[in-house]
């Protein structure tokens, strides 16, 4: 009986310890700063067009770039950063290469992090305006992946807005 109580205690403590560091990336909105950011020149007042968003590795499921595209377009529209046809004079295009990072033993559908290389280019002269590496943790695998992908797109939108506003 005593051995059973100790086993339950050990399992409960192990579970709690595993959740504590993982809790920060479960899709909550946080104050965000990209891991690495470079802004080469000012682009205030420009509009942003979403270009190619692709998987950065063969391990990254195809739905992730599509989900990020959908969420990013919504966020940019909400912020008024997607220009109309008439406003194409000052236009930047964003390209993103995203990768699902797997860690530990459960590599089935439980990516632990999304990492993206974001590049913003002036359409007129093909000059790179800014680039960043954005990373978002996925605390609970497939149960919160939708929140992680949405949060990741939101973090990318924050970076893009900081360049053009």
Q: What is the pLDDT of residues 121-159, one digit of tens each?
A: 999 999 999 999 999 988 776 666 668 899 999 999 999
| 84 belongs to a structural domain | yes
**Under 8 Å between Cβ of 103 and 112:** yes
Average pLDDT value over all residues in the chain: 79
Give me the CATH number covering residue 158: 3.40.50.10610
Who wins on pLDDT, 70 or 18? Answer: 70
> Model pTM?
0.75
Q: Does the CA dihedral 120-122-43-91 come out positive or negative?
A: negative
Structural domain span for residue 144: 25-164
The first and second tokens of residue 22, run together, are 């993982």
- Alpha helix (H) ranges present in the chain? 2-22, 63-78, 145-164
Residues 6+ apart with CB under 8 A from 158: 32
The rounded distance, in Å, linking the Cα atoms of 160 and 165 is: 9
| 5 belongs to a structural domain | no
Who wins on pLDDT, 107 or 156? Answer: 156
With a cut of 70, say whether residue 30 has pLDDT above it.
no
| 12 belongs to a structural domain | no
Per-residue pLDDT, 137: 87
How are strands ordered across the β-sheet holding 128-137? Answer: 36-39, 128-137, 113-122, 91-101, 47-55
| 3 belongs to a structural domain | no
| 99 belongs to a structural domain | yes
pLDDT > 90 in the chain, percent: 48
| 61 belongs to a structural domain | yes
Quickly state the pLDDT bin for 22 (edges 50, 70, 90): very low
Q: Which long-range contacts (CB under 8 A, 24 or more apart) does 75-78 make?
A: 75/153, 75/154, 75/157, 76/48, 76/50, 76/157, 76/160
Most trustworthy range by pLDDT among 6-20, 25-39, 77-91:
77-91
| 6 belongs to a structural domain | no
If one counts the domains in the chain, the total is 1
């Amino acid at each position: 009986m005593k051995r059973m109580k100790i086993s339950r205690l050990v399992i409960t403590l192990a579970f709690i310890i595993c959740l504590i560091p993982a809790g920060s990336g479960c899709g909550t909105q946080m104050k965000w700063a990209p891991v690495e950011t470079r802004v080469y020149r000012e682009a205030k007042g420009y509009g942003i067009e979403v270009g190619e968003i692709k998987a950065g590795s063969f391990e990254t499921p195809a739905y992730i770039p599509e989900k990020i595209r959908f969420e990013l377009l919504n966020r940019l529209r909400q912020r008024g950063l997607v220009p109309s046809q008439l406003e194409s004079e000052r236009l930047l295009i964003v390209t993103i290469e995203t990768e699902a990072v797997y860690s530990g033993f459960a590599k089935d559908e439980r990516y632990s992090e999304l990492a993206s290389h974001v590049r913003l280019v002036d359409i007129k002269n093909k000059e790179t305006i800014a680039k960043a590496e954005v990373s978002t943790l996925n605390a609970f695998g497939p149960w919160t992946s939708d929140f992680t992908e949405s949060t990741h797109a939101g973090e990318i939108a924050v970076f893009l807005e900081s360049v053009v506003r």
